[in-house]
Amino acid sequence: MANMEFNVEGNAQNFQTDLSAGTHEITIDEPENLGGNNQGMDPLSALLSSLAGCENAVANFVAKEMDFDLQGISFQVNGNIDSEGMMGNPDVRPYFQTVSVKAKVRTSESDERVQELQEKVDARCPVFTTLHAAGVEMNADWSKA
């Protein structure tokens, strides 16, 4: 497995965007108080959801490599953004200032092994590393459930 390509297609009307990737579909929208119809998750929450999903996928790959007893992970992901940036203020960056990932790992492994898993996952997760490379302050806290 070397170079991988991902494709998403969709149509948008007003704030709602209906997208597909292969046979899977998702609707991205804004809440009513921001002008949308609340027909789907807002784009920033979708990005944070992608982070949790990507961390989980990479954790499963890494766990197999480490012979790590990974029984499951519960995620809580929070992001902070100054909305002035996306509203046009050129002095404020229009993306997340900080993102925090709290993960509770269901496992029989030691706390040290959980930390080793986290370090490897954070270093290899494409979504985590993309946010980090953009200068987003990434705070990760993984512990045993």
Are 74 and 139 in the same domain? Answer: yes
Are 47 and 36 in the same domain? Answer: no
How much is the pLDDT for 2? Answer: 87
Residue 29: closest CA among 84, 19, 20, 21: 19
Are 90 and 108 in the same domain? Answer: yes
Are 8 and 59 in the same domain? Answer: no
Contacts of 75 (CB under 8 A, 6+ apart): 52, 55, 56, 101, 102, 103
Are 19 and 57 in the same domain? Answer: no
d(CA 20, CA 40): 14
Report, as ranges of residue numbers, the positions in the chain whose pLDDT lies below 50.
none
pTM exceeds cut of 0.75? yes
Structural domain count, the chain: 2
d(CA 65, CA 24): 29
Q: Which domain holds residue 50?
A: 43-144
Are 86 and 21 in the same domain? Answer: no
Are 140 and 103 in the same domain? Answer: yes
Are 68 and 124 in the same domain? Answer: yes
Are 33 and 71 in the same domain? Answer: no
> Using one digit for the tens of pLDDT, what is the confidence trace for 19-43?
999 999 999 999 999 999 999 999 9
> The tokens of 47 are what?
């990005």
Are 16 and 59 in the same domain? Answer: no
- Residue 130 maps to which CATH number? 3.30.300.20
Are 62 and 36 in the same domain? Answer: no
Are 53 and 6 in the same domain? Answer: no
